[in-house]
Amino acid sequence: MATNVKIDKDEKDKSVDESKYRGMIGSLLYLTASRPDILHAVCLCARFQSNPKESHMSAVKRIFRYLKGTIQYGLFYPKNENFSLKGYSDSDYAGNIDDRKSTSGSCQFLSDCLVSWFSKKQNCVSLSTTARIYFRRLLLYSTFWMKQTLADYKCSFENVPIFCDNISAINIAQNPVHHNRTKHIEIRHHFLRDCVSKRKIEISFVPSQDQLADIFTKPLTSRDFASIRARLGIMHIE
């Protein structure tokens, strides 16, 4: 997606055929199961399936043009004996123009193989960058689901690293003293802190340029997009 264009409801633009638009979105959503690099763009366009406009259709056609140029790309899973579980979590800040809600994204790796990913608009508006990071409890559910599934195969993981680029959110998760700063955060979100204290997960800092979940939360420049895409294991397959 273009980094200089913000997609909103655009109620003044000309409407397009809803059935055709929804059919295109449905096909793209099906494809995100094997092409995580288009997940954010597809999910963003999917928000406007009711009364879509020409600007939304143009954004969808842009995704199809990108797929046509990268038709030989796919996920590559290399052989690796280092069997470890790790995750990346990120969120933009009030990226949605219509309601100013943030978009959360995460991905999980087994060794160097990408096995799980998602992009989702948050249910409530975050008042700070720290709050938006701390609200991303969906990542925990994905990680714990993977741990439980792998336990059925006799694979046990403790203190699973989750990489985050927000130091304040990491401090809140690790330090139970910050009560006066977190009263506005609902109790269920402190589930994160409890998991850290029990050493089920470990929240680790990662520089923004190494935050692989960026590709699931916001449009990126072509250079950054290509770099993260390669690090996710999406490459040209003969």
**What integer best gives the mean pLDDT of the chain?**
82
Q: How far apart are the first and last CA of the chain?
A: 26
CATH fold for domain 85-218+224-228? Nucleotidyltransferase; domain 5 (3.30.420)
Q: Give the pair of three-digit tokens for residue 174.
A: 């690790």
2-19 per-position pLDDT tens digit:
888 788 888 888 999 999
CB 234 within 8 A of CB 77: no
Task: Give φ, ψ of 34 to 5 degrees.
Answer: -125, -5
In the three-class reduction of DSSP (H, G, I as helix; E, B as strand; rest coil), residue 115 is classed as strand
Q: Where are the domains of the chain?
A: 1-71, 85-218+224-228
**Which has the higher per-residue pLDDT, 143 or 189?**
143
Amino acid at 157: F
Report residue 117's pLDDT band, with 50, 70 and 90 as the boundaries: very high
Return the pLDDT at 132.
46
**Distances 138 to 20, 57, 106 between C-alpha atoms, Å:** 32, 30, 9
Structure tokens at 127: 């008042």
Prediction pTM value: 0.82
Q: Are β-strands 85-91 and 160-164 bridged in parallel, bridged antiparallel, or unpaired?
A: parallel
Residue 184 pLDDT > 90:
no
